[in-house]
Amino acid sequence: MLALLVVLICTILAVEFVLDHYEFISPAFIFTVSFLVASIWALAYQTKWNLNLSLITFAVVLGGVFEFFLISKLIGFMYELLRGYSSNISGLEETQATNKYGLLVILFIEILTAVYTVWVVRKIMPAGSVVESISLYRGAVLASMTGTKITALPHLLNILRNFSTASGYFCAYLLAQDLVYRKRKNYLLLGITVFAIFNGLLLGGRGGALNLFIAFVVYWYCILKRKQNWLSHGNVKILIGAVFGLIVLVFSFQWLASVLGRDVDQYSTMDYLAIYFGAEIKNLDTFLTNQIYPVHTGVPGGQTFYYLIKAASGYLHLGIPDYDFMLPFQSVNGYNLGNVYTTFYPYIYDFGMSGLLVLVGIMATVSQLTFESVKHFNGKK
């Protein structure tokens, strides 16, 4: 069943690549690649993980990928039809010079945020070194998912960290524009972006830093392709470079975890990577075959809209009871599988299969409209 799933997802991916004119950052291509990678890892570890893929999991993964592909293509076709297709898309205008003193202020705030974060983490989790404190803090955060309470970060620190993240994304975009149009590095923009990535690591997680790095690469690619009127020439060469860079990034995962104080020596490199890139299929299969869904909790849509509900409850004083993500850690045959479950998990958890159909459709629609807007953005007010 897993082998068939890999073959069918490969087929969808090949069709997408051709229909998208060899464009590999289209939403459908990226979405399908992510599930292809996960399925290949799951196939390689199916014996060790005792994974006999159920028909329902097969249908959910394949159906979700196909629905995303179908709706993305439909939205792309309608966008071009309603907009009036033009193959002559003018390139982005070059950005104006940035304010040096404004950037220095942002960089100073980011440095201050890093120092403040370290001070708070050391205060919450005293230990022999900063790395140990960060590791202990992350462990406490994970434990809080099962009901264990942890001292919350100061509100001011949360604001500063959000500012740092937002500044990182904004300056990464400006840095990418400088690299494409001016062929030079703006070291202030680079410093702000790097410090935003660094701040993202100070609570022990790698997701925020990784997302910002990927965002910079996507910014650079989109601006470059926009300058080239989105011609497909050179895409294969860039794709090969991207795959090589991704391989380097992936194999640095375990090293970075070690730097952040995590105990990862018990895993081989391949076993460790399998947890992040394939265990979600096994965990989703475990959920679908052992759980009645949707799971009715006190907060409707609580898993799907977790951050939105948390923010709305806090800022609008809605009085919604505090609750946590329901992402139990899994293990099988002595292998730790973590708590990753695919993007489909919260949709099914909250709304069942009908919710999966609706929400995947919404996700595909929003993603494709965003992609089309980026492609046709001309930089003019």
Distance CA 54, CA 372 (A): 36
Tell which residue, 336, 355, 200, has the closest CA to residue 271: 336
Q: What count of other Cβ atoms lies within 10 Å of the Cβ of residue 51?
A: 22
**Amino acid sitting at position 87:** S
Q: What count of other Cβ atoms lies within 10 Å of the Cβ of residue 198?
A: 17
3-class state of residue 284 by DSSP: helix
Largest Cα–Cα distance in the chain?
A: 63
* pLDDT at 4 (0 to 100): 95
97: left (phi over 0), alpha (psi -120 to 50) or beta: beta
Structure tokens at 91: 């390139």
Q: Cα(first)–Cα(last) distance of the chain, in Å?
A: 52
Distance CA 32, CA 16 (A): 9
**What is the residue-wise DSSP string for 318-359?**
--PPP-------EEETTEEEET---THHHHHHHHHHHHHHHH
* pLDDT at 241 (0 to 100): 80
pLDDT in tens, 189-240: 999 999 999 998 888 888 888 889 888 988 888 888 888 887 776 677 777 8
* pLDDT at 379 (0 to 100): 55
Given a contact cutoff of 8 angstroms between Cβ atoms, the answer to whether 232 and 214 are in contact is no
* pLDDT at 190 (0 to 100): 92
Q: Which residue stretches of 93-129 are H helix?
A: 100-124
* pLDDT at 279 (0 to 100): 92
Q: Which residue numbers in the chain have pLDDT < 50?
A: 86-92, 381
* pLDDT at 287 (0 to 100): 93
Distance CA 303, CA 348 (A): 10
The whole-chain average pLDDT of the chain stands at 85
pLDDT in tens, 289-345: 988 888 877 788 888 888 888 778 777 777 777 777 888 888 888 888 888 889 999
* pLDDT at 105 (0 to 100): 93
Distance CA 292, CA 357 (A): 18
Considering just the CA atoms, what is the radius of gyration of the chain in Å? 22
Given a contact cutoff of 8 angstroms between Cβ atoms, the answer to whether 17 and 249 are in contact is no
Q: Which residues, listed in sequence order, are joined to residue 335 by a DSSP beta bridge?
A: 332
* pLDDT at 136 (0 to 100): 87
**What is the residue-wise DSSP string for 2-37?**
HHHHHHHHHHHHHHHHHHTTS-TTSHHHHHHHHHHH
* pLDDT at 108 (0 to 100): 95
* pLDDT at 95 (0 to 100): 54
Q: What count of other Cβ atoms lies within 10 Å of the Cβ of residue 103?
A: 19
Q: Which residues contact 381 (CB under 8 A, 6 or more apart)?
A: none
* pLDDT at 121 (0 to 100): 92
Q: E strands along 188-298, which residues? A: none
* pLDDT at 203 (0 to 100): 87
Tell which residue, 186, 204, 202, has the closest CA to residue 264: 204
**Residue 348: exposed, middle, or buried by beta-carbon count in 10 A (0-12, 13-18, 19+)?**
buried
Q: Which residues, listed in sequence order, are joined to residue 336 by a DSSP beta bridge?
A: 331
Distance CA 341, CA 304 (A): 13
* pLDDT at 88 (0 to 100): 47
Given a contact cutoff of 8 angstroms between Cβ atoms, the answer to whether 200 and 165 are in contact is yes
What is the three-state SS of 165-214?
A: HHHHHHHHHHHHHHHHHHCCCCHHHHHHHHHHHHHHHCCCCCHHHHHHHH
Cis upstream peptide for 154 (omega within 30°): no
